[in-house]
């Protein structure tokens, strides 16, 4: 029997799915500090996968991780949305596809 090492954060139902398919897995519960580190690592992993595949499944994974990171860092999803909406109100969104080339500042 071959053992494949993962050492990464997985979705909550993954151990059940592995066992239902006839596999065995070892898991452990992360400390809060480890959890935050692994969320950040998983965000990097999923962002790289999105860059490679550019599909909606990878965007959904990123959104799930952003929501998990929000809660893990002590915020609510409502706070996240409020901050997002306020930034959009003050600075705009990304709908107009504006690409900033340069800025010439006035010298006093």
pLDDT of residue 108: 81
26 assigned to some structural domain: no
Is 90 exceeded by the pLDDT of residue 68?
A: yes
pLDDT of residue 77: 98
Q: pLDDT of 16-57, one tens digit each?
A: 999 999 999 999 999 999 999 999 999 999 999 999 999 999
Q: How far is CA 3 from the centre of its chain?
A: 27
What is the dihedral sign for C-alpha 59, 64, 65, 67?
Answer: positive
pLDDT of residue 54: 95
The number of domains in the chain is: 1
49 assigned to some structural domain: yes
25 assigned to some structural domain: no
45 assigned to some structural domain: yes
Compute the distance between CA of residue 24 and CA of residue 30 in angstroms, rounded to an integer.
19
Is 80 exceeded by the pLDDT of residue 1?
A: no
22 assigned to some structural domain: no
51 assigned to some structural domain: yes
- Owning domain of residue 53: 31-91
Instruction: Provide the terminal-to-terminal Cα distance of the chain, rounded to the nearest Å.
Output: 73
6 assigned to some structural domain: no
11 assigned to some structural domain: no
**Residue among 6, 63, 83 nearest 38 (CA):** 6
| Whole-structure pTM value | 0.86
């Amino acid at each position: 029997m071959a053992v494949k090492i993962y050492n990464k954060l997985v979705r909550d139902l993954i151990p059940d799915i592995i066992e239902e398919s006839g596999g065995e897995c070892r898991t452990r519960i992360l400390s809060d500090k480890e959890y935050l580190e692994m969320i950040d690592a998983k965000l990097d992993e999923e962002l790289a996968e999105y860059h490679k595949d550019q599909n909606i499944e990878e965007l959904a994974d990123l959104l799930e991780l952003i929501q998990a990171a929000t809660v893990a860092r002590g915020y609510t999803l409502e706070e996240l949305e409020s901050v997002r909406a306020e930034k959009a109100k003050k600075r705009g969104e990304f709908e107009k596809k504006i690409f900033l080339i340069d800025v010439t500042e006035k010298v006093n």
